[in-house]
Each structure stands twice: as C-alpha cells, then as structure tokens.
Amino acid sequence: MVQTRAQKKAQMSQKLDIDAALVLLKLRKDHDDMLQKELQKKKEELDILREIKRLTDEYNMMRMIVRSYDEKADALEIRITKLMSSLDN
C-alpha cells in the first residue's frame, strides 16, 4: 500500500503530537517528583522546628524552676548567716 504525501504528513504530525504528549507527561512527572521532594523536605524542617520549640519550652521551664530554687537557696543562706552571726554576739 502506497501512502500519499498527505497521509505521510498526517502520520508524521500524529507522531509529533504523541512525542510532544510524552515529553509533557515526563515533564509533569518530573515536576511532581520535585514537588514531592520539596514537600518532604519542608515536613522534615517543620518537625525539626516543632522539636526546637518543645525543647525550648522545656528549657525555659527548667530555668524558671532553677531560678526559683536559687532565690530560695539565697534567702535561706542569708537567714542562716544572720542566725550564725547572732550566736557570735
């Protein structure tokens, strides 16, 4: 069977359309893969930031408790010193 120029041109055009569609699909897949990787990276960063916040909150609570006990220890030390100095008189 002999093909006419119009048939060959139509066949070539159809092949180019298919090739273009395949290229677009590949680009779309690559883009989606890139977005997935970026999304995963952002999720990991968010997890790290949440952990930093949790640890910072815990640290601040500990510092507040330590500061409170330091103040109490200082007050007790002053009181002990005053009582001891009253024995010297």
Rounded Cα gap, residues 79 and 69, in angstroms: 15
DSSP-assigned states of every residue in 10-67: HHHHHHHHHHHHHHHHHHHHHHHHHHHHHHHHHHHHHHHHHHHHHHHHHHHHHHHHHH
pLDDT at 89: 62
Q: What does the radius of gyration of the chain's CA atoms come to, in whole angstroms?
A: 38
pLDDT digits (tens, 9 = 90+) for 12-68: 888 898 999 999 999 999 999 999 999 999 999 999 999 999 999 999 999 999 999
